């Protein structure tokens, strides 16, 4: 998941400045999610902040904590949050 999320970060970074701004993240995060992870309040997400989101969403979706996501786990509300973040 981390490898895929890193590749997605690079794809979303359309201006190639190694950060994601709100426009690049449109539809991926709620306002609350954005504020929670953008700790430096610079209105961009760096790769480490982005991966924090992905890890949090993955861990929330991994109900049995086995490090894998089943179709059932992906169908859960937490799984759908992960899908929303990593599929644009």
pLDDT at 2 over 70: yes
Strands (DSSP E) along the chain, which ranges?
20-21, 44-45
Sorted by where each begins, the domain ranges of the chain are: 2-86
pLDDT for residue 88 is more than 70: no
Write down the pTM of the prediction: 0.82
Nearest CA-CA partner of 19 in 42, 52, 53: 42
The hierarchical CATH code for the domain 2-86 is 1.10.238
What is residue 33's predicted lDDT score, i.e. its pLDDT?
80
| Token code pair at residue 75 | 């169908």
How far apart are the C-alpha atoms of 45 and 62, rounded to whole Å? 24
Angle (CA) 15-49-20 rounded to 5° is 15
pLDDT of 87 over the 80 cut:
no
The 10s digit of each residue's pLDDT in 16-65 is: 999 999 889 887 777 888 888 888 888 899 999 999 989 999 999 999 99
């Amino acid at each position: 998941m981390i490898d895929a999320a890193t590749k997605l970060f690079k794809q979303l970074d359309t201006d190639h400045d190694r950060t994601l701004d709100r426009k690049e993240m449109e539809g991926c995060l709620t306002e609350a999610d954005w504020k929670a992870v953008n700790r430096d309040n610079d209105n961009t997400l760096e790769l480490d902040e982005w991966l924090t989101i992905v890890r949090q969403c993955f861990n929330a979706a991994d109900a049995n904590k086995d490090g894998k996501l089943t179709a059932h786990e992906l169908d859960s509300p937490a799984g759908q949050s992960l899908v929303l973040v990593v599929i644009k």
